[in-house]
A and B are shown apart, each in its own frame.
Chain A
Amino acid sequence: MLSCFSFPAVIAALALLGGSIRGADAGDLEFFEKKIRPLLVERCYECHSEGKKIKAGLRLDHTEGWRRGGDSGPAVVPGNVEGSPLIKAVRYTGLEFEAMPPKSQLTHAETALLEEWVKRGSPGPDAAMASAATPDTAAAKPKQVGLTVAEGRKFWAFIPPAKSDVPAASPTTKNWPRTDIDRFIAAEWESKGLTPAPDANRAALFRRASFDLTGLPPTPEALEAFVRDVRPTAGAFASVVDAMLAAPQFGERWGRRWLDVARFAESSGGGRTLLFKDAWRYRDYVVETFNRDVPFDRFVREQLAGDLLPAATPEDKRRQITATAFLALGPTNYEEQNKDALRMDILDEQIDTLGKAFLGMTIGCARCHDHKFDPIPNRDYYALAGILRSTHTLHNYTDNVAKWVDATLPADPAVETEIVAHEAQIATLEKQIGKLRAAAGNASLAKSVTAASLPGIVLDDTQAKVVGEWKHSTAMPGFVGEGYLSDDNAEKGKRTVTFTPVIPQTGRYEVRLAYNAAESRSTNTPITILHADGESAVVLNQRERPSVDGRFGSLGTFRFEKDGAGYVLVSTEGTTGYVIVDALQLIPIEPRADLLPAVLAGTAGVAKSAVTKTMAELVDPAARKNAAELKRLEAELKKLTTAGPKRELAMSVREAAGEIGDTEIRIRGVARNLGAKVPRGFLQVATPGEMPQFSATESGRRELADWIASAENPLTARVITNRTWAWLLGAGLVRTVDNFGTTGERPSHPALLDHLARQFVADGWSIKKLVRAIVLSRTYRLAAGATPDAARLDPDNRLFSHANRRRLEAEEIRDAILAASGRLDLTVGGPNISAATTSEYGYVFADTRRSLYTPAFRNRRLELFEVFDFADINASVGQRAASVVAPQALFLMNHPWMTEQAKLAAQRTLASADRTDSARVEEAYRVALGRAPTARERTLALDFVHAGSVEIWAQFHQSLFASVDFRYLD
Chain B
Amino acid sequence: MNPTPNSFLTRRQALQQLACGFGYMAFAGLAAQAAARSAANPLAAHPGHFPARAKRVIFLFMGGGVSHVDSFDYKPTLYARDGEMREFLDQRNIARTGVGATGRVMKPMWDFKQRGQSGRWVSDLFPHLAELADEYCVVRSMHTEGVAHGPATLFLHTGSTNLIRPSMGAWVSYGLGSENENLPAFVALSPTLANGGPRNYGNAFLPSVFQGTAIGRSGQRAVEAGLRNVRNPGLTTAEQQRQFELVRAMNEEQLRAKPGDYELEAVANSYELAWRLQNHAPDTLDLSKESAATLALYGIGEEPTDDYGRQCLMARRLAESGVRFIQVNYSDNTNNPAWDQHSNLPKHKDHAVRVDKPVAGLLRDLKARGLLDDTIVWWGSEFGRTPYAEKNGTGRDHNPTGFSVLLAGGGFKPGFAYGETDDFGHFAIENKVHMHDLHATILHQLGLDHEKLTFRHDGRDFRLTDVHGHVVRDILG
Contact = CB atoms under 8 A, between A and B. Distances in A.
Contacts of A943: 2
A960 B243 CA distance: 11
A335 interface: yes
Nearest to A565: B336
Interface string B278-305: 1000000000000000000000000000
B271 interface: yes
A566 B335 CA distance: 10
A563 interface: yes
A960 B104 contact: no
Interface string A259-281: 00000000001111100000000
A420 interface: no
B444 to A, nearest CB: 18
B111 interface: no
Given A498-B393, A893-B232, A465 B343 contact: yes
A173 B194 CA distance: 60
A891 interface: yes
Interface string A926-970: 000000001011011001100000010001101110111101101
B209 A883 contact: yes
B274 interface: yes
A567 B229 contact: no
Contact of B195 (A93, A271, A532): A271
A884 B39 contact: yes
B344 A465 contact: yes
B370 interface: no
B273 A889 contact: yes
Interface stretch (B54-62, B95-103, B322-330, B371-379): B95-103
B89 A271 contact: no
A400 to B, nearest CB: 8
A270 B91 CA distance: 21
Nearest to A537: B391
Interface in A732-749: 736, 738-739, 741-744
Contact of B255 (A345, A742, A964): A964
Interface stretch (A243-251, A687-695, A868-876): A868-876
A812 to B, nearest CB: 15
Given A271-B150, A271-B153, A528-B391, A567 B342 contact: yes
B470 to A, nearest CB: 9
Contacts of A742: 459
A92 B40 CA distance: 50
A664 interface: no
Given A467-B389, A564-B336, A498 B270 contact: no
Contacts of A959: 243, 246-247, 250
Interface string B339-372: 0111110000000000000000000000000000
Interface stretch (B200-208, B309-317, B403-411): B200-208
A786 B104 contact: no
A530 interface: yes
Interface stretch (A336-344, A469-477, A707-715): A336-344
A742 B460 CA distance: 11
B344 A500 contact: yes
B253 A104 contact: no
Nearest to A499: B343
Contact of B196 (A270, A561, A785): A270
A272 B230 contact: no
Contact of A944 (B104, B153, B246): B246
A143 interface: no
Contacts of A672: 98
A337 B92 contact: yes
A891 B242 CA distance: 17
B274 A890 contact: yes
Contact of A886 (B250, B254, B273, B429): B273
B244 interface: yes
B476 interface: no
A963 B162 contact: no
A1 to B, nearest CB: 7
B207 A883 contact: yes
Interface stretch (A645-653, A830-838, A894-902): A894-902
Contact of B253 (A273, A534, A738, A940): A940
B208 A567 contact: no
Interface string B238-265: 0110111011011101110010110110
A495 B230 CA distance: 57
A531 to B, nearest CB: 8
B249 to A, nearest CB: 6
B223 interface: no
Nearest to A785: B258
Contact of A272 (B163, B195, B271): B195
A95 B343 contact: no
Query: Majority SS of interface residues in chain A?
Result: loop
Contacts of B150: 270-272, 333, 335-336
Contacts of A951: 234
Nearest to B434: A102
Contacts, number: 298
Given A271-B195, A372-B460, A104 B394 contact: no
Given A336-B148, A496-B391, A884 B230 contact: no
Interface residues of B, number: 107
A571 interface: yes
B439 interface: no
Interface in A851-887: 859-861, 863, 869, 872, 874-875, 881, 883-887
B116 interface: no
B180 interface: no
A895 B392 contact: no
A105 interface: yes
Given A532-B336, A569-B393, A964-B255, A269 B197 contact: yes
A569 B247 contact: no
A275 B137 CA distance: 42
Contacts of B151: 271, 333, 335-337
A888 interface: yes
Contacts of A176: none
A546 interface: no
B344 A105 contact: no
Contact of B199 (A269, A561, A934): A269
A333 B197 CA distance: 13
Nearest to A466: B394
B266 interface: yes
A378 to B, nearest CB: 15
Nearest to A903: B234
Contacts of A896: 233
A672 B141 CA distance: 26
B328 to A, nearest CB: 20
Given A496-B392, A959-B250, A860 B197 contact: yes
B334 A564 contact: yes
Contacts of A681: none
A871 to B, nearest CB: 11
Contacts of A565: 64, 334, 336-337, 340-343
Nearest to A496: B392
A904 to B, nearest CB: 14
Contacts of B80: none
B393 A496 contact: yes
A786 B71 CA distance: 65
Given A500-B343, A939-B1, 12 more contacts: A270-B154, A339-B95, A365-B459, A496-B392, A569-B343, A886-B274, A888-B270, A893-B271, A894-B230, A894-B278, A937-B253, A964-B254
Interface of B: 1-3, 39-40, 64, 85, 89, 91-92, 94-96, 98, 100, 102, 104, 141, 146-151, 153-154, 161-164, 193-199, 204-205, 207-209, 213, 228-235, 239-240, 242-244, 246-247, 249-251, 253-255, 258, 260-261, 263-264, 266-268, 270-271, 273-274, 277-278, 332-337, 340-344, 389-395, 420, 422, 427, 429-432, 434, 458-460
14 contacts: A95-B98, A270-B150, A271-B153, A337-B92, A362-B459, A742-B459, A743-B460, A791-B260, A884-B40, A889-B274, A893-B271, A894-B278, A958-B243, A968-B264
